[in-house]
């Protein structure tokens, strides 16, 4: 694996080279494609004039805030459902009726309530992050060694103490996995909302570049969005391994 | 045991009905402005009206059609490509890093690029859906094929099976749970992308309908559309789960 790392770069390098050659030989000005070198130049331009960083900030702020809100509610619900089997069973139909609603379907509702801007985007991101966090937290709490809960009962811990001192630490590695997945979802949903209606962030930037017939800027944005998604994933995986080591390498449920 | 299960289900239905009743109360007493939250009665009326006198049924069908074809193309392509990449370790070392880099890319970010290349056409919508739904299927298939018990391949070699025979008789059945899980994820992606594409490109369908309803403050129509989308999401996942259960029933027996 270690001596083969360069092999992964061969395919993208060849593709980029071919694209460059094709665009140079073809020679015409395209409205939909650009040569890789032009994309790099366009990337430098939007980076220097600050528009790229502002857009990145907008997207990350809404994705992050939505993740925090939705993740927190999902965490609370997941702990509640995981600890109290009665609540879980009684709420089953209600949850299963709301959960399959696609995240983008709540977009017009959020638009109606909040108008355009951060609040609407955060609400949609929170709605889509809530479900995976809730389901995985529920599974994590339900999978806690029963003897730990017996101990907490024997020690007569209060409900709050039981959650903070026993349940959360025991379920934390799997909850971390849930948040890592939800972070990816948050970014995807934020960009989607921006492309569909919301005039801010990276999604709006790429849409404006397309409408202004600047394929080089558009593709620069596309590559940048890819880099951010990839970077976020790598960063969170590293953090997870650092914080939990082998305990973090648990199976993802559902 | 089964009677208990039915009892719990009935109880949880009751709770759901209670929630709908609470929603009705919220709307009736105008605790939340009816501009944002019409009662379930008005949403229901708008739903039935849309189906009987309007063309909501047509919009529903065109969204379903879009989602289905995009998903089907993605699934077939994903399985074929995944089988090719998954059965060859050499291809894997060359392609896996590229695929890993492309995986977290939000599929909706390709919409502007697709619009620039193909215009606001149905072909654009279909290719965006197919591209977006391709990733879950492709990566699951590669994983499924790579995770086949090596001894099964050895048996195939001992029996001197040809490569297609190995794929169809050994690898595909063994990878089918992974592939079906990927296809299920792909279906969710396909539904989301159909709705987004309809919103952006203005193609006729549920996505366009709910966006226009919100823009003209027709809240009951909007909620009717959202309910319909929820039903669509639920229905497709139930159907796929049933297909999965049937296709994979041999695995349960084998154990």
Of A8, A111, A215, the CB nearest to B97: A8
Give per-residue pLDDT as tens, A191-235: 999 988 888 888 888 888 888 888 888 888 888 998 998 898 888
| Beta carbon pairs, A and B, within 8 Å | 165
CB contact under 8 A, A226 and B196: no
pLDDT at A130 over 80: yes
Of B196, B229, B237, the CB nearest to A192: B196
Question: What's the CA angle centered on B135, arms B185 and B76, to 5 degrees?
Answer: 85
Of A107, A210, A229, the CB nearest to B112: A210
Q: What is the pLDDT of residue A100?
A: 85
Q: By mean pLDDT, which of A33-42, A55-64, B12-21, B128-137 is the weakest? A: A33-42
Of B19, B104, B199, the CB nearest to A196: B199
Q: What is the pLDDT of residue A74?
A: 94
Number of helices followed by number of strands (H, E) in chain B: 12, 0
Chain A residues in contact with B59 (beta carbon < 8 A):
none
Q: What is the pLDDT of residue B53?
A: 82
Cβ pair B165, B107 in contact under 8 A: no
CB contact under 8 A, B16 and A191: no
pLDDT at A148 over 80: yes
Chain A residues in contact with B107 (beta carbon < 8 A):
188
Cβ pair A134, A77 in contact under 8 A: yes
Q: What does the block give as tokens for B230?
A: 């929820």
* Average pLDDT value for residue range B39-58: 85
Percent of chain B clearing pLDDT 70 (strictly above): 98
* Closest-CA distance of chain B to residue A121, Å: 15
> How far apart, in Å, are the Cα atoms of B147 and each of A71, A183, B152, B154, B172?
32, 27, 11, 14, 11
CA distance A85 to A81: 6
Max mean pLDDT among B24-28, B69-73, B159-163, B238-242 falls in B69-73
Chain A residues in contact with B8 (beta carbon < 8 A):
89-90, 92
Q: What is the pLDDT of residue A127?
A: 93
Residue B46, SS3 per DSSP: helix
**ipTM for the complex shown:** 0.84
Q: What is the pLDDT of residue B193?
A: 92
* Average pLDDT value for residue range A93-111: 87
Q: Which CATH code, of 3.30.300.30, 1.10.3720.10, 2.40.50.140, 3.40.50.300, is assigned to A52-248?
A: 1.10.3720.10
CA distance A124 to A129: 9
* Closest-CA distance of chain A to residue B42, Å: 16
Q: What is the pLDDT of residue B130?
A: 93
Cβ pair A19, A36 in contact under 8 A: yes
Percent of chain B clearing pLDDT 90 (strictly above): 17
Residue B102, SS3 per DSSP: helix
CA distance B208 to B230: 16
* Average pLDDT value for residue range A112-136: 91
Calculate helix-pair angle for A107-114, B206-215, nearest 10 degrees: 10
Q: What does the block give as tokens for B40?
A: 């379930």
Chain A segment 137-196 residues within 8 A of B by beta carbon are 184, 187-188, 191-192, 195-196
Of A98, A196, A209, the CB nearest to B200: A196
Q: What does the block give as tokens for B26?
A: 């919220």
Q: What is the pLDDT of residue B155?
A: 86
Q: What is the pLDDT of residue B78?
A: 93
Q: What is the pLDDT of residue B28?
A: 82
How many residues appear in chain B?
255
Chain A residues in contact with B132 (beta carbon < 8 A):
none
Q: What is the pLDDT of residue B1?
A: 64
Residue A190 is inside which H or E element, if any? Answer: helix A168-196
* Closest-CA distance of chain A to residue B182, Å: 12
* Average pLDDT value for residue range A40-63: 88
Q: By mean pLDDT, which of A32-41, A220-229, B129-138 is the weakest? A: A32-41
* pLDDT interval class at A27 (50, 70, 90): low
Chain A residues in contact with B214 (beta carbon < 8 A):
108-109, 111-112
* Average pLDDT value for residue range B65-76: 93
Nearest CA in chain A to B211: A108
Q: What is the pLDDT of residue A252?
A: 44
CB contact under 8 A, B112 and A11: no
Chain B segment 196-255 residues within 8 A of A by beta carbon are 196, 199-200, 207, 210-211, 213-215, 217, 219, 222-223, 225-226, 229-230, 233-234, 237
Domain B37-254's class? mainly alpha
* Closest-CA distance of chain A to residue B155, Å: 27
CB contact under 8 A, B199 and A197: yes
The domain ranges of chain A are: 52-248
Q: What is the pLDDT of residue B169?
A: 83
Chain A residues in contact with B229 (beta carbon < 8 A):
101-102, 105
* Average pLDDT value for residue range B106-131: 87
Cβ pair B44, A121 in contact under 8 A: no
Residue B87, SS3 per DSSP: coil
CB contact under 8 A, A108 and B210: yes
Q: What is the DSSP letter of B31?
A: S
Q: What is the pLDDT of residue A15?
A: 84
CA distance B202 to B186: 23
CB contact under 8 A, A195 and B214: no
Question: DSSP for A72-139?
Answer: HHHHHHHHHHHH-HHHHHHTHHHHHHHTTS-GGGGHHHHHHHH-SSHHHHHHHHHHHHHHHHHHHHHH
> How far apart, in Å, are the Cα atoms of B204 and each of A172, B53, B119, B197, B208?
45, 17, 16, 10, 6
* pLDDT interval class at A26 (50, 70, 90): confident
pLDDT at B22 over 80: yes
Q: What does the block give as tokens for A188?
A: 């995807």
Between the CA atoms of A123, A125, A126 and A130, what dihedral angle is there, to the nearest 10 degrees?
A: 150
Of A92, A100, A202, the CB nearest to B234: A100
CB contact under 8 A, A230 and B101: yes
The neighbour count for residue A6, using CB atoms within 10 Å, is 9
Tokens 């020679």 -> residue: A27
- Residue A96 contacts B where some CB pair is shorter than 8 Å: yes
Q: What is the pLDDT of residue A69?
A: 94
pLDDT at B198 over 60: yes
Q: What is the pLDDT of residue B253?
A: 62
* Closest-CA distance of chain A to residue B228, Å: 9
CB contact under 8 A, A11 and B94: yes
What average pLDDT does chain B have? 86
């Amino acid at each position: 694996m270690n001596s083969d790392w360069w092999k992964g770069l061969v395919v993208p390098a060849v593709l980029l080279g071919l694209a460059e050659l094709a665009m140079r030989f073809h020679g015409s000005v395209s409205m939909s494609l650009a040569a890789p070198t032009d994309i790099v130049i366009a990337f430098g331009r939007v980076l220097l004039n600050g528009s790229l960083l502002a857009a990145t900030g907008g997207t990350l702020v809404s994705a992050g805030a939505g993740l925090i809100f939705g993740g927190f509610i999902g965490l609370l619900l997941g702990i509640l459902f995981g600890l109290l089997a009665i609540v879980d069973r009684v709420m089953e139909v209600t949850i299963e009726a709301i959960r399959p609603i696609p995240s983008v379907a709540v977009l017009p509702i959020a638009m109606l309530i909040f108008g355009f801007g951060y609040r609407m985007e955060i609400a949609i991101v929170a709605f889509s992050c809530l479900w995976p966090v809730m389901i995985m937290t529920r599974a994590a709490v339900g999978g806690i060694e029963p003897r730990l809960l017996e101990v907490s009962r024997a020690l007569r811990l209060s409900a709050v103490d039981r959650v903070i001192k026993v349940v959360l630490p025991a379920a934390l590695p799997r909850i971390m996995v849930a948040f890592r997945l939800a972070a990816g979802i948050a970014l995807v949903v934020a960009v989607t909302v921006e492309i569909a209606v919301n005039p801010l962030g990276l999604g709006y930037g790429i849409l404006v570049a397309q409408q202004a017939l600047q394929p080089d800027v558009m593709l620069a944005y596309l590559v940048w969005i890819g880099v951010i998604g990839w970077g976020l994933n790598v960063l969170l995986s590293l953090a997870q391994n650092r914080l939990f080591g082998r305990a973090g390498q648990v199976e993802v449920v559902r | 045991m089964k009677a208990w299960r039915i009892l719990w289900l009935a109880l949880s239905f009751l709770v759901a009905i209670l929630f709908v009743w609470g929603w009705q109360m919220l709307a009736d007493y105008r605790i939340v402005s009816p501009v944002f939250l019409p009662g379930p009665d008005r949403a229901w009326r708008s739903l039935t009206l849309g189906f009987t006198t309007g063309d909501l049924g047509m919009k529903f069908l065109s969204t379903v059609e879009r989602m289905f074809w995009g998903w089907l193309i993605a699934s077939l392509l994903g399985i074929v490509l995944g089988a090719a990449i998954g059965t060859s370790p050499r291809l894997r070392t060359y392609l896996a890093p590229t695929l890993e880099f492309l995986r977290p890319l939000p599929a909706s970010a390709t919409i502007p690029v697709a619009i620039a290349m193909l215009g606001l056409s149905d072909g654009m919508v279909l290719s965006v859906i197919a591209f977006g739904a391709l990733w879950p299927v492709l990566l699951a298939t590669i994983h499924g094929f790579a995770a086949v018990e090596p001894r099964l391949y050895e048996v195939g070699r001992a029996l001197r099976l040809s490569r297609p025979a190995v794929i169809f008789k050994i690898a595909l059945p063994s990878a089918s749970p992974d592939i079906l899980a990927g296809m299920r994820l792909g279906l969710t992606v396909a539904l989301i992308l159909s709705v987004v594409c309809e919103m952006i490109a203005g193609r006729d369908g549920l996505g366009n309908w709910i966006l226009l309803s919100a823009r003209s403050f027709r809240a009951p129509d909007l909620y009717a559309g959202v309910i319909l989308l929820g039903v669509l999401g639920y229905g497709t996942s139930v159907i796929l789960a049933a297909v999965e259960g049937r296709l994979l029933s041999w695995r349960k027996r084998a154990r």
